[in-house]
Structure 1
Amino acid sequence: MIQIPRGTKDILPVDSIKWQYIEEVLRETCRNFNYKEIRTPIFEQTELFVRGVGDTTDIVNKEMYTFTDKGGRSMTLRPEGTAPAVRSYIENKMHGDPNQPVKIFYQGPMFRYERQQKGRYRQFEQFGVEVIGVEDPLIDVEVISLLLDIYKSFGLEKLELHINSIGDFESREDYQKALREHFAPSIGEFCSDCQSRLDRNPMRILDCKADAKHPLMTTAPNIQDYLNESSKAYFEAIKETLTNMGIDFIVDPNLVRGLDYYTHTAFELMSSAEGFGSITTLAGGGRYNGLIEMLDGPNETGIGFGMSIERLLLALEAESIELPIDDSIDFYLVTMGEKARIEASIILNRLRTNGFSADMDYKKRGMKAQIKDADRKKARYMIVLGDSELESGKIHVRNMDTRKEVEANLDCFEEEVNFDEA
């Protein structure tokens, strides 16, 4: 039997309605913040991710789904959303748009070949936002507050916002020099990945899971000690504004972004709910002041975040939150006899055309079984249609909650009945 690929998951109708609800909340939140949707291809040139994500990352080195197309070109299923969004920004000359900064959001499947864990799949759904064209502590705060608004709108409370600053390019250079001096004497004790990163990108060593418990990790230099005055002022402005907004946060010196183009603000949102799991991160983001130029674009700056829908669902489960989803239908037509079934299909078409949701039985089951089916489908109103109703042109519309019935004309009952009272 052909089975689903490892690391992927079918989203069945009982669950897809939750996804639809979440997606609408995400879109509504973005509308409130005046962010517009961007849609990019599922696959891109491999070079985009090698340059845009970084050739020292596990994503590029170990996790990408890469293939050669019929033209001999190397293509990759997108592993994340920022690089494609920036590529589109450059290619479509969005820096010339009169509406600046460019504020966009995206949502779609991403692909990473990694070990499947709870809430982590090889195909996963990512939502993210990007703001390109301005460097301002206030826009950094806006992006962070948008992220928090999303999670809080679902009723989540067990949330921790971790923030940090990795400073400007000058501060980063000083910090990386200190890291090289710190790790170099014992780098032979670290994994091969860390050894290769020492000269190229020592900040990536701090993200290593294999060597996370090495003693030098806990004594590594603190980025806060290497921020210059302008970087300190930028970070202080962010902390002050968050505080004035009533947003709690934790300054986490271990939170860094190791890629060459990340600067200033880094942040992660974590779940503190009991039983959520060992990997507590729900979403992460930061400011990138070199990525656009690295991809041959103009000298512009950006900030954004990415979040997994699957992990959002896990957070809801951990806090025992039920989404307020209405999956009921307006009408269910119970039929008796073939003539009634044919007439019911015509009535269904009329109801649906007029904006009502409606259904009927197609398996020719008995009346009791149809009534049970109406209950399963959570019908608000039920109509029984048989020979007598067809002859008289009169029907009874039953409210399935109150069991109250109202008589109406068959050919226009949806116009006659006051459904608030029925």
Structure 2
Amino acid sequence: MITGIKGFNDILPGEVERWQHIEDTARRVFSLYGFSEIRIPILEKTELFRRSIGDTTDIVEKEMYSFVDKGENAVTMRPEGTASVMRSYIEHKLYAQDPVAKLYYMGPMFRYERPQKGRYRQFHQIGAEVTGVTDPKVDAQVLTMLCHYFAELGLTEPTLQINSLGCPECRPAYRQALIDFLRERLDSLCEDCKRRYQTNPLRALDCKSAHCKEATASAPAMLDSLCAGCDDHFTATRRHLERAGTAYSINNRMVRGLDYYTRTTFELVTGLLGAQSAVAAGGRYDGLISDLGGPAIPGIGFAMGVERIALLLGDQHFVGRPDLFIAALGEEAQDEAFRLMCGLQRNGVAVEMDYEGKSLKSQMRRSDKFNARFTLIIGGDELAKGAAVLKAMDTGVQVEVPLTPEEVAARIT
């Protein structure tokens, strides 16, 4: 038997409907805020992610699925979506039509990580990006949309945490202060944090190691080192969130694993998924588009993990009910049931039937399994009369209907 690859999961019927609900809700909510869908390729040039994410990040150092293709090109299966969206934005000169773009995407991403609950090697994200606006009202609107989305799913547990990572003007001084702080505590840090404390010191602040958490408990906070512009931006973002009625808390230890983030950064976190507390995350990336060869246009966005959202939704069922189950007794009745089913489906009615000529009792059990709204039983008498009894399964009400797609459809739609 050939089995699937570890960390690459099948999404089976019964579960996939939950995923469709997650995706359909995103499309509906995001459209209210003026976002349009963009579809980006799975395979990109490796250089795109090295330039955008950063050579010293865990993703680039350890986790990317990269290889040289038959044309001797270094390519990578996308580990995240923002870089690909910005590459497309630049390549197709979307900024020439309007620098302000509101785009969203959904689909699989790939990272070679240790598979665990809510984190897999092929995982799925829904993300949204806004370009062309520096005004903090956009930061607040993106965060409000994200919280609105979770509210529409009926999920109130993830809570919004925000921080500011500063900008190229104020971050270098903070970065050096953090390096100096970590240097004095190297013996208490994990091996990863020791290795990268000079190249990527911010990662020590969200390291999951208990030793690192304890060692960095008194680390300096970026919020205390913001320049006037970043401080004003963060203050205004908070003010607009409050005007929008979007609840939040400040987490001054929050950092992002990608190098391109500046100023506003945020996560939606929950205590319901164990170590995988972040369900959605993102931030502002005002220098990314120019770093990738485009014009100096700012941006902000987020991504959320579909697997984690599905876990939060739990055992809620989203499988639709067929409108009708036809139980047919005998070969001639089966043929009539098939003709009727095809005509009803063309009229927009969801219909199921038994194909194997089983007993009426067996067919009725199958109707119960489908949880059909109506059941129609066709036998010899019904064929002779050209009509059958249609039963509403929720109320027990029965009516006689002619055996035509139009008449049956009129009674159940």
Q: Please indicate the TM-score interval, normalised by the length of the shorter structure.
A: over 0.9
How many angstroms does 1:204 deviate by? 2.8
SS at 1:169 equivalent: coil
How many residue pairs get aligned? The number is: 413
Task: State the shift of 1:5 in Å.
Answer: 0.9
| TM-superposition CA deviations, 1:52-80 (whole Å, max 9, x none) | 11111111111111122111112111111
Counterpart Cα distance in 2 of 1:382 and 1:41 = 45
**What is the CA-CA distance between 1:158 and the residue it aligns to?**
1.9
Shift of 1:45: 1.0
- Equivalent residue for 2:232? 233
1:358 correspondence with 2:351: yes
Name the residue aligned to 2:293.
296
Q: Which amino acid aligns with 2:76?
A: T
- Secondary structure of the 2:144 match is helix
CA deviation digits over 1:297-323, x for unaligned, max 9? Answer: 111111101100111122223xxx735
Residue 200 of structure 1 aligns to a residue in which SS? coil
Contact 1:283 1:305 in 2 (8 A): yes
Contact 1:408-1:417 within 8 A present in 2 as well:
no
Give the aligned partner of residue 72 of structure 2: 72
Letter of the aligned partner of 2:337 in structure 1?
Answer: A
User: What letter corresponds to residue 385 of structure 1 in structure 2?
Assistant: I
Name the counterpart of 1:376. 369
Q: Please give the alpha-carbon distance, in whole angstroms, between the structure 2 residues aligned to 1:54 and 1:237.
A: 29
Aligned equivalents of 2:204, 2:55: Cα separation in 1 = 14
User: RMSD of aligned C-alpha atoms?
Assistant: 1.9
Q: Which runs of 5+ in 1 are unaligned?
A: none
Q: Which residue is 1:122 aligned to?
A: 121
Residue aligning to 1:250? 249
Partner Cα separation in structure 2 for residue 42 and residue 244 of structure 1: 39
2:104 corresponds to: 105
Q: Deviations over 1:24-68 (max 9, x none)?
A: 111101111110001011111111111111111111111111122
CA distance in 2 between counterparts of 1:270 and 1:308 reads 12
The alpha-carbon deviation at position 214 of structure 1 amounts to 5.8
Where do residues 155-234 of structure 1 align in structure 2 (5 Å cutoff)? 155-187=154-186, 190-210=189-209, 213=212, 215-234=214-233
Residue type at the aligned position of 1:382:
T
Q: 1:405 to 1:206 in 2, by over 3 A?
A: same
The one-letter code of the counterpart of 1:173 is P
- Given that residues 260 and 290 in structure 1 are in contact (C-alpha distance below 8 angstroms), is that contact kept between their aligned partners in structure 2? no
1:252 maps to a residue whose letter is: N
Instruction: Tell me: CA distance 1:277–1:21, structure 2 relative to 1, closer, same or farther (3 Å).
Output: same
* Worse-matched range after superposition: 125-134 or 195-204: 195-204
Distance 1:326 1:105, change over 3 A: same
Structure 2 counterpart SS, 1:117: coil
Tell me if 1:45 matches 2:38. no
Q: Quick check: 1:322 aligned with 2:319?
A: no
| Counterpart-to-counterpart distance in 1, 2:377 and 2:211 | 67
Query: Are the aligned partners of 2:128 and 2:303 in contact in 1 as well (CA < 8 Å)?
Result: yes
Distance 1:215 1:329, change over 3 A: closer
Q: Does the C-alpha gap of structure 1 residues 220 and 368 become closer, same or farther in structure 2, counting only changes over 3 Å? A: same
Q: Which stretch shifts more, 198-207 or 223-232? A: 198-207
C-alpha distance in 2, partners of 1:330/1:175?
Answer: 63
Looking at structure 1, the residues matched to 140 and 75 of structure 2 have their Cα atoms a distance apart, in angstroms, of 35
CA contact (8 A) 1:160 1:272 kept: no
Aligned pairs for 1:126-165 within 5 A: 126-165=125-164
**2:190 touches 2:211 (CA, 8 Å); kept in 1?**
no
Give the C-alpha shift of residue 408 in structure 1: 1.7
Aligned to 2:304: 307
Q: Distance in 2 between matches of 1:377 and 1:398?
A: 15
Give the match's secondary structure for 1:149.
helix
Question: How far apart are 1:108 and its partner, in Å?
Answer: 0.1
* Counterpart secondary structure, 1:300: coil
Give the partner amino acid of 1:363: E
Query: For residues 166 and 417 of structure 1, what CA distance do their matches in structure 2 show?
Result: 60
Deviations 1:112-151 (A, max 9, x none): 1111111111111101101111111000011111111111
Instruction: State the Cα distance separating 1:155 from its structure 2 match.
Output: 1.5
Closer, same or farther: CA 67–299 of 1 in aligned 2, 3 Å = same
Distance 2:69 2:111 in 1: 19
Counterpart of 2:390 in structure 1 is 397
Whether contact under 8 Å (1:190, 1:211) holds in the other structure is no
Structure 2: tracts of 5 or more residues without a match: none
Note if contact 1:266-1:285 (Cα within 8 Å) is conserved in structure 2.
yes
Between the aligned partners of 1:147 and 1:196, the Cα distance in structure 2 is 35
Distance apart, 1:259 and its partner CA: 4.3
- 1:132–1:303 Cα contact (<8 Å) kept: yes
Cα displacement string for residues 364-402 of structure 1 (whole angstroms, at most 9, x for unaligned residues): 211110011111111111111122222221221111122
SS at 1:72 equivalent: coil
Matches within 5 A, 1:80-99: 80-98=80-98
2: CA distance, partners of 1:296 / 1:384: 67
Q: Which one-letter code corresponds to 2:62 in the other structure?
A: K
